[in-house]
Amino acid sequence: VHYPFEPFRIKMVEPIHLIDRQTRESLLREAGYNVFALKARDVLVDLLTDSGTGAMSHIQWGAMMQGDESYAGAASYFRLSETIHSIFGFQHFVPTHQGRAAENILSALLVKPGLFVPSNMHFDTTDANIRARGGRPTNLVIDEAFIPSSMHPFKGNMDLCKLKSFIDHTGPENIPLGMITVTNNAGGGQPVSMENLHGVAEIYRSHGIPFFIDACRYAENSYFIQQREPGYQDRSILDIAREMFSLADGATMSAKKDAIVNIGGFLAMNDEELYRRACNELILREGFPTYGGLAGRDLEAIAVGLQEGIDETYLAYRVKQTAYLAGRLKELGIPIMDPPGGHAVYIDAGAFLPHIPPSEFPGQSLVVELYIEGGIRGVEIGSVMFAHSDPETGAMIHPKLEMVRLAIPRRVYTQSHLDHVVNTFKLIAENRDSMRGYRMTYAPELLRHFTARFEPI
């Protein structure tokens, strides 16, 4: 497997350390076996998330020095506005402190108790923001999304038949908005094809349902379209992104992903009336519409990062780096979600640890082992994150896959860091039969994975 050439050199470094195994064991015990409760300095290779953890460029840092910190009408806002307009094309936008703040505003304005919001798959914060308003997030991704070995090039696609019959069954009047997540983070970071986006947009439009794209990883999605979808090989990433967003009525964006910043996001839309209401909601909770919970310097970093995030040389490196880790793990026989996504490698923990049932969290068991064995921090994307009780029957519903995500921060780690992950998996695979399941000893109602506590069974 080939490691891609990094299209950058390193100008600033941050030391990392491997603390000894005994200390790792006791720290994890104190953390209730939840890696979110660890101190970052006690982690060697941190693959918890690709969100806000990227390395900014010298151009982004330079732009930050030019941040205009005026309360209203700052120049930085207008620079960001121009960039957003040129890529996304929506008529209006409000900056937010991150993606979930955009989701909160959208849910506050549109979702009412008992209403449904379909998507391919909602990510955890979107799911929770809809539920927090009494709504019902509904996932309608194609079936291939749940077959880790399926090589379908666009496993993030919405199942258009399911979407149509869902709308017929539910009634469009009970669907205040429809969404799609690009790439599908809850389902292996898999892309959505342009053909599918056209289909989804057409179905929503014909029923008068506003269409919002969860756009955090739109640049990676655009790159996959260019690489895999017939007819797009000669189109630029910018051009592909513009076509994607021209199909929608708006977007929620966490700039912490494909805009390569440490904090920030926005909510964009065409509808002027919705924009006015969003501004009022923003002023109440985030800030004045020309800064929305961010500093002027943050707006500058996003404006530059959006451009860097759609650079093809960068995107080719990014996707190949992820494919390298995936390929090396496959060589070891570790079951992964194929083909690898853009921002992360997803391990099929259910298949890796068949002796641990979903109710005992095989993914959590693997996350714990990765830290104990190699000081690596990953995240469970399975029953810890997504199992919930059915609002009607109260029965526990488990997700179809028990996965562990190794998310790769942008422009941060090199080959030797990823090789350390591969070597750690070698050791873990040898002892997998002795790995045990976990029992939850504490969990809040929503977004429980962040603060849950566990004990080994």
Nearer to ligand F0G, 51 or 321 (CB): 51
Residue 313: is the preceding peptide bond cis (ω within 30°)? no
- For residues 3 and 183, which CB has a smaller minimum distance to ligand F0G in the complex? 183
Of 3 and 224, which CB lies nearer to ligand F0G in the complex structure?
224
Question: In the complex, what is the shortest distance from the CB of residue 220 to ligand F0G, in angstroms, rounded to a whole number?
Answer: 11
Minimum CB distance to ligand F0G smaller for 3 or for 413: 413
Q: Is the CB of 123 or the CB of 454 nearer to ligand F0G? A: 123
Shortest approach of ligand F0G to residue 125 CB, angstroms?
4
- Is the separation of the CB atoms in 97 and 264 below 8 Å? yes
| Nearer CB in complex with ligand F0G: 251/435 | 251
- Closest approach, Cβ 363 to ligand F0G, in A, equals 14
Residue 414 dihedral angles phi and psi, to the nearest 5°: -110, -175
CB of 441 to ligand F0G, least distance (A): 24
CB of 111 to ligand F0G, least distance (A): 16
The amino acid occupying position 455 is: E
Answer for the pair 440, 450: CB distance below 8 angstroms, yes or no: no
Pick the closer one to ligand F0G by CB: 342 or 437.
Answer: 342
Judged by the rule CB under 6 A, the positions of this chain that interact with ligand F0G are 49, 51, 98-100, 123, 125-126, 181, 185, 214, 216, 254, 256, 265
Minimal CB distance residue for ligand F0G: 99
Q: Shortest gap between Cβ of 267 and ligand F0G (angstroms)?
A: 12
Structure-token match 């992104």, residue found: 241
CA–CA dist 286, 303 (Å, integer): 19
Cβ 279 to ligand F0G, closest distance in Å?
20
Nearer to ligand F0G, 254 or 365 (CB): 254
38 bridge partner residues: none
CB of 136 or CB of 360, closer to ligand F0G? 136
CA distances from 375 to 25, 35, 355 (A): 10, 11, 24
Q: How far is the CB of 399 from ligand F0G (least distance, A)?
A: 15
Query: Which residues are bridge partners to 212 per DSSP?
Result: 179, 250
Of the pair 100, 410, the CB lying nearest ligand F0G is at: 100
